[in-house]
Amino acid sequence: MTNYFDIKLSDENIGKISNLGLAHLGDAVYELMVRVWLCEHGKCTSGGLHRAAVSYVNAPRQARMAEKLMPLLTEEEQAVYKRGRNTKVNSIPKNANPGEYHAATGLEALLGYLYLHGRQERINELFKIMMED
């Protein structure tokens, strides 16, 4: 049985996944981490948890976090981020401008890529930096 919480796919398999597929997965990884972080910090009621999660899981905030991380990313990570950022998207939510949405998509693609490579330690390092405020 595959353990999807501790997965490591080959470069070949990951290469078959579209940038938007990586971003879709990265969005889930990021949201799960945010929810756990919020519970750890006392935001445990369902209403409070949802409102707090939405304040972190949105394109403008993720774009700011991506900007914060850029100088710390390896060349490989920057390349994955840029591929995700430059992907053509069909619609942009009302709460974000195109630049923010593309940056958020890049960050999500990076998180999805790292997750599928089994690099949870690196994801945790980046997440810790993102959540420093």
Domain total of the chain: 1
Question: Would residue 93 count as lying in a domain?
Answer: yes
Residue 11 a catalytic site member: no
Residue 2 falls inside a structural domain = no
Say if 17 falls within a structural domain: yes
| Cα distance between residue 38 and residue 106, in whole Å | 23
Q: Please indicate, yes or no, if residue 5 is contained in any of the structural domains.
A: no
Phi, psi angles (nearest 5°) of residue 88: -70, 130
The CATH number of whichever domain residue 91 belongs to comes to 1.10.1520.10
Residue 3 lies in a domain: no
Angle 121-13-17 from CA coordinates, rounded to 5°: 90
Tell me whether residue 55 is in a domain.
yes
CB 107 within 8 A of CB 66: yes
Residue 43 clears pLDDT 80, i.e. is over it:
no
pLDDT single digits (tens) 77-92: 999 999 999 998 888 8
Looking at the domain assignment, is residue 4 inside a domain? no
Residue-wise pLDDT for 92-109, tens only, equals 888 889 999 999 999 999
**Full residue range of the structural domain in which residue 23 is found:** 12-131
Q: Which of 6, 11, 27, 133 is catalytic?
A: 27
pTM comes to: 0.93
Say if residues 104 and 63 touch (Cβ distance below 8 Å): yes
Asked if the model's pLDDT at residue 44 lies above 80, the reply is no
What integer pLDDT is reported at residue 29 of this predicted model?
97
92 lies in some domain:
yes
